[in-house]
A = this chain, B = another copy of it.
């Protein structure tokens, strides 16, 4: 291939740079020039490029360090392209830029929304019979992309959640007084990450005892009964909830009655805080809520080796697919065996992936809707396996420099 462009889009993960590392590894071998567009598709529109150079002395150590670095080395954006049949102006501009820079392939690493972008570019390319290839590379901690067994970034976030949950199980075990701890985990619609909290259970730890995903309508009264029941068995009740749990009418479980604060802003509390207050008021016992927040998606120091290796391989495969002339596709993972765990890489059609969400199947959640099944645990288990070697300096992980983003 002549030249190629790669960009990243959507929320950061611990593995999106591993996919970039994979694209760069194959791209530098198989094309003349590799451009990185800064801040996603905006970087292409503004021709805000950096050029990667395979002749640089330290390219292999750069690619290795990039692989283990959190967030998006190339920055990100949240830009939605219009339907080209209604408004093709931006497409004309983009293709003019692609052609002027002699681009043979464009790689976009991201989630559902990013796959919408690359899918639209592929469709426009086809429409004007452009030879440029458009290939998506999956990533999202939410694990909600269609056509793939799981998504890059998910395994590492799941691993951090499982480790933290185990450590919080130790932390909450120390007092004798009855208490409830609610851990709020990311996931607006899909409960995959929250389900990963179950991986913390082991021969001495049965926490969290209760797990609530957004896929099942949340009932506050049933929840209180569940908590009461667990408190008859243990003084230490730990509960994992998705941020996106909703009642039967589809309303988020958050404190909508909270009035405006003194600055005139309605102060909503999230699912965890809302349930904390509910438990405290209904049961009158000590309750604490913990929101894992952005730490769960950027904790690269606990990345899953399985996840990073797969992410890198998907990036490499994306380039190979483009070299084969394929466009409008995304390399996907197909699990062929659970034990020993094995995944093949296949290719998925972006039209079946963009703008869709893969939710947790109802049968992987218990009938009562307050836990996950053994099948879910067997699905999750291999994805967090393996630790990565990180170089530490002055007590901190050595990640790739991101000064170019400022």
* Chain A residues near B (Cβ < 8 Å): 8, 12, 39, 42, 69-72, 75-78, 159, 162-164, 166-168, 170-176, 199-200, 202-205, 234, 236, 255, 257-259, 261-265, 267, 269, 273, 277-278, 280-282, 288, 290-295, 297-302, 304, 381, 384-387, 392, 394-397, 399, 401-403, 405-406
Contact A277 B295 (CB under 8 A): no
Complex Cα distance, B76 from A401, in Å, reads 43
Q: List 30 A-B contacts (CB under 8 A).
A: A12-B170, A12-B174, A39-B174, A70-B167, A71-B170, A71-B174, A75-B176, A76-B175, A162-B395, A163-B301, A163-B396, A163-B397, A166-B396, A166-B397, A168-B294, A170-B402, A203-B401, A234-B406, A257-B261, A258-B258, A258-B261, A264-B281, A267-B273, A290-B291, A290-B294, A384-B394, A384-B395, A384-B396, A385-B394, A385-B395
Contact A396 B202 (CB under 8 A): yes
Distance in angstroms from A394 CB to nearest chain B CB is: 7
Q: A290-B293, A293-B290, A386-B395 are in contact. Are A173 and B406 (CB under 8 A)?
A: yes
Q: Which residues of chain B are near A381, meaning CB under 8 Å?
A: 394-395
Contact B39 A162 (CB under 8 A): no
Q: Which residues of chain B are near A163, meaning CB under 8 Å?
A: 301, 396-397
Complex Cα distance, B69 from A71, in Å, reads 29
Complex Cα distance, B57 from A167, in Å, reads 27
**Additional pairs, 17, CB under 8 Å, beyond known A71-B170, A75-B173, A163-B397:** A12-B174, A39-B176, A70-B167, A76-B174, A164-B295, A166-B399, A167-B399, A168-B298, A236-B406, A255-B267, A257-B262, A258-B261, A264-B281, A304-B395, A381-B395, A384-B394, A384-B395
Q: Which residues of chain B are near A277, meaning CB under 8 Å?
A: 261, 263, 265, 267
Which B-chain residue is minimally distant from A301 (CB atoms)?
B163
Q: Which residues of chain B are near A295, meaning CB under 8 Å?
A: 164, 167-168, 290, 292, 295
Distance in angstroms from A270 CB to nearest chain B CB is: 10
Q: A164-B299, A293-B291, A396-B199 are in contact. Are A171 and B71 (CB under 8 A)?
A: yes
Complex Cα distance, B176 from A77, in Å, reads 8
Q: A164-B299, A257-B262, A295-B295 are in contact. Are A42 and B176 (CB under 8 A)?
A: yes
Contact B403 A204 (CB under 8 A): yes
Complex Cα distance, B174 from A269, in Å, reads 26
Which B-chain residue is minimally distant from A162 (CB atoms)?
B396
Q: Which residues of chain B are near A291, meaning CB under 8 Å?
A: 290-291, 293
Distance in angstroms from A296 CB to nearest chain B CB is: 10
Distance in angstroms from A72 CB to nearest chain B CB is: 5
Contact A265 B292 (CB under 8 A): no
Which B-chain residue is minimally distant from A401 (CB atoms)?
B204
Distance in angstroms from A378 CB to nearest chain B CB is: 12
Q: Which of A385, A395, A397, A406 has the most CB of B within 10 A?
A: A395
Complex Cα distance, B278 from A293, in Å, reads 20
Distance in angstroms from A226 CB to nearest chain B CB is: 18
Neighbour of A395 across the interface among B159, B170, B264, CB < 8 A: B159
Q: Which residues of chain B are near A293, meaning CB under 8 Å?
A: 290-291
Distance in angstroms from A376 CB to nearest chain B CB is: 15
Q: Which residues of chain B are near A301, meaning CB under 8 Å?
A: 163, 167, 302
